[in-house]
């Protein structure tokens, strides 16, 4: 179904209908209408972006400026004070580091685990593969609250409470539920001839996995890694439960969970929101191709 890791970027115009000659007047109308639609869409896009713009201009505005001129005016003398004071109050550098470590570990481990599962299901066709896939899909949609309390209890018992390791373990498994499903689906289209050739060559299973399957599945594995990274970065509920010290906070926790705790003024809250948004804008720009390629896959989440 809608899972695909290869981009379909063929231009929409390729399928354009055969053009019929229209009277000049109606063609002119057509152009006016086209630009009207374009302007309307641009206006909508401006509305979509306005929350970010408002946050950005107020993040660099002094509190007195905000009080005097309101949230819509441009900053009179732009300042980094809000950003710096929020950064220091929550150790935002530490939060970035925590988020990076957790998300990277989960991306790598979850992809590896998904690959192993999918190898057995998609290439090995172990007995009951269909039911296993259904199981992984159900595991993927299970609400957090259905597992959170026992996990919290276990983490305390194992001495992993308030550690990044606990979050990494839990998300590795959660993300690999989706990953197994995704990779196994892509493997359905794995070229049969290559498997037959490996068979003739007397290749072992581990060799087959490492030398043949991994290189061929490379692009899909990359898509999965990017998604696992971003999804883990964005998570809130489980990190909120497992990470209680400021020093362990991830970016969303540093931005959202500290509201109210720190007696921050309005300008600092705007600065915190801006700092929370910026890394994601960066990911978006860096991974844009991968994201638009793989989003169809994400529809299973």
Residues numbered 205-244 forming contacts with other proteins, rule: CB under 8 A: 205, 208-209, 230, 233-237, 240-241
- Among 28, 29, 32, 38, contact with other proteins (rule: CB under 8 A): 38
Which positions from 243 through 272 interact with other proteins, judged by CB under 8 A?
251-253, 255-257, 259, 266, 269-270, 272
- Cα 98 to the center of its chain, rounded Å: 16
> What are the tokens at 36?
């009207």
CB of 173 to other proteins, least distance (A): 4
- Alpha-carbon distance of 39 to 50, in angstroms, equals 16
Nearest distance in Å: CB 244, other proteins: 10
- Which of 60, 273 has the CB closer to other proteins? 273
- List binders of other proteins among 56-85 (CB under 8 A): 58, 70-72
Question: How far is Cα 156 from Cα 150, in angstroms, rounded to an integer?
Answer: 10
Binding mask 4-23 for other proteins (x = CB under 8 A): ----xxxxxx-xxx------
Residue at token pair 């906070």: 249
Number of residues this chain uses to bind other proteins (CB under 8 A): 108
d(CA 209, CA 216): 10
- Which residue carries 């705007």 as its tokens? 270
Contact with other proteins (CB under 8 A) among 100, 195, 216, 222: 195
Residue with the two structure tokens 């005097």: 68
Query: According to the binding rule CB under 8 A, does residue 191 interact with other proteins?
Result: no
Q: Using the 8-state DSSP alphabet, how is residue 16 labeled?
A: P
Closest CA to 213 of 293, 129, 288, 120: 120
Under 8 Å between Cβ of 274 and 80: no
- Which backbone phi and psi does 188 adopt, to 5 degrees? -60, -30
**Options 79, 85, 246, 296; binder of other proteins; rule CB under 8 A:** 296
Tell the smallest beta-carbon distance from residue 105 to other proteins (Å): 14
Length of the chain: 301
Q: In this chain, which of 170, 183, 224, 243 binds other proteins, going by CB under 8 A? A: 170
Retrieve residue 295's tokens: 């989003």
Query: Can you say how many angstroms the Cα of residue 37 is from the centroid of all Cα atoms in its chain?
Result: 31
Write each residue from 273 to 292 as x if it is in contact with other proteins (CB under 8 A), else as -, in one continuous string: x--xx--xx-xx---x--xx
For other proteins, the binding residues in 87-106 under the rule CB under 8 A are none
Q: How far is the CB of 279 from other proteins (least distance, A)?
A: 9
From 89, 100, 108, 148, residue interacting with other proteins (rule: CB under 8 A): 148
Closest approach of other proteins to the CB of residue 189, in Å: 15
223, 5 contact by CB (below 8 A): yes
């Amino acid at each position: 179904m809608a899972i695909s890791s290869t981009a379909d970027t063929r231009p929409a115009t390729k399928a354009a209908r055969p053009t019929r000659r229209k009277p000049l007047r109606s063609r002119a109308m057509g152009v006016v209408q086209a630009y009207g639609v374009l302007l309307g869409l641009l206006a909508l896009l401006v509305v979509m972006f306005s929350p970010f713009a408002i946050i950005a201009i107020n993040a660099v505005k002094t509190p007195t400026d905000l009080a005097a001129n309101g949230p819509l005016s441009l900053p009179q003398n732009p300042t980094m004070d809000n950003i710096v004071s929020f950064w220091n109050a929550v150790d935002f550098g530490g939060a970035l580091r925590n988020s990076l470590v957790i998300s990277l570990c989960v991306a790598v481990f979850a992809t590896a685990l998904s690959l192993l599962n999918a190898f057995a299901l998609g290439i090995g066709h172990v007995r009951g593969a269909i039911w296993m896939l259904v199981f992984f899909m159900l595991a993927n949609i299970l609400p957090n609250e259905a597992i959170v309390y026992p996990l919290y209890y276990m983490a305390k018992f194992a001495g992993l409470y308030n550690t990044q390791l606990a979050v990494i373990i839990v998300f590795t498994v959660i993300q690999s539920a989706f990953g197994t499903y995704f990779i196994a689906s892509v493997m359905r289209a794995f070229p049969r001839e290559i498997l037959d050739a490996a068979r003739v060559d007397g290749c072992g299973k581990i060799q087959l996995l490492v030398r043949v399957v991994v290189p061929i599945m490379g692009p899909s594995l990359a898509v999965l890694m990017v998604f696992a990274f971003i999804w883990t970065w964005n998570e809130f509920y489980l990190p909120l439960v497992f990470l209680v010290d400021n020093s362990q906070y991830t970016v969303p926790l540093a931005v959202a969970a500290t509201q109210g705790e720190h007696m921050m003024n309005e300008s600092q809250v705007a600065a915190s929101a801006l700092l929370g948004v910026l890394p994601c804008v960066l990911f978006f720009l860096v991974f844009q191709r991968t994201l638009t390629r793989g989003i169809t896959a994400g529809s299973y989440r």
